[in-house]
Amino acid sequence: MRAACVIGWPAKHSRSPKLHGYWIERYKIDGNYKYEEVRPEDFPAFLKNLEGHGYIGANITIPHKEMALKLSEPDARARAIGAANTLWLDKGRLRSTNTDVDGFIGALDAAAPGWDKRVASAVVLGAGGAGRAVVYGLVERGVKAIHVVNRTYEKAVAFRERFGPSVHPARWDDVPRLLAGAGLLVNSTSLGMKGQPALEIDPGPMKAGAVVADIVYVPLKTKLLAAAEKRGFKTSNGLDMLLHQAVRPFQLWFGVRPEVTAEQRDMLVADIPKD
């Protein structure tokens, strides 16, 4: 039997066991997916003996993603983002990647097929870890102008150094002007999440046919996404990204490229607090 797990501290609230468990059953895989709560000081030893713990691979979550990068052989994507969220053993080598890019891009492709042919200018709110995956994906898909808006402006400037000249650092005051010419808006900050301050952005000035994405999934329909829907824009939410980021790890570990299904999505939605 093949087994994988999510390693975090904490990890027991992770939705990954449910998500992968669904596919294990659907594709009748002789496999298992568990969670492992590992303290930061114990993480290197745990990884070194991943096979001994019974695993062929793992997802990595907070606070271990940067350390996982250091302790494995990362691909270009994980290196560019500076964090690894997926590990797999490949003939004794511990390799890693970052599938948050797949999650963001996969969800966007599903919500608005062909978006990349129409979007020349995008606005990304936030320049943290999630923002890095978003911007990497947009650069890879050839979006010509990517305006990165961040409270701490210097971090947006660092994005240009990291991801190249298609990235344009910007400030929150610039947002209404930038939105007027943009075909895509992405919130990669924690604003609008349950328990966090609200995100007060009106997508109204965006071009007809625009797409709005939010990494937040509690609540599932953020204020931003509700406003975007009202304007007739296509939307992509954080839960879709969570589902799509799991596709490649599952394929790497269990050899089947799984399909994200409505039934699986409903199963996760049932777990999200409604108020």
CB of 131 to ligand ATR, least distance (A): 6
CB of 155 to ligand ATR, least distance (A): 5
Looking at beta carbons only, is 14 or 188 nearer to ligand ATR? 188
| Residues near ligand ATR (CB under 6 A) | 126-131, 150-152, 155, 188-191, 197
For this structure, is 65 an active site residue?
yes
Q: Counting Cβ atoms within 10 Å, is residue 274 exposed (0-12), middle (13-18) or buried (19+)?
A: exposed
Looking at beta carbons only, is 82 or 205 nearer to ligand ATR? 82
- DSSP per residue, the chain: -EEEEEEESS-TT-SHHHHHHHHHHHTT-SEEEEEEE--GGGHHHHHHTTTTTT-SEEEE-TT-HHHHHHTSEE-HHHHHHT---EEEEETTEEEEE-THHHHHHHHHHHHSTTHHHH-SEEEEE--SHHHHHHHHHHHHTT-SEEEEE-SSHHHHHHHHHHH-TTEEEE-GGGHHHHHHT-SEEEE-SSTTSTTS-------TTSPTT-EEEES--SSSS-HHHHHHHHTT-EEE-HHHHHHHHTHHHHHHHHS--PPP-HHHHHHHHTTS---
Looking at beta carbons only, is 61 or 72 nearer to ligand ATR? 61
CB of 218 to ligand ATR, least distance (A): 13
CB of 215 to ligand ATR, least distance (A): 7
Instruction: List the catalytic residue out of 65, 144, 194, 207.
Output: 65
Are the C-beta atoms of 199 and 221 separated by less than 8 Å?
A: no
Q: Which residue is nearest to ligand ATR (CB)?
A: 128
Looking at beta carbons only, is 31 or 126 nearer to ligand ATR? 126
CB of 137 to ligand ATR, least distance (A): 14
Looking at beta carbons only, is 70 or 151 nearer to ligand ATR? 151
**Residue numbers annotated as active site:** 65
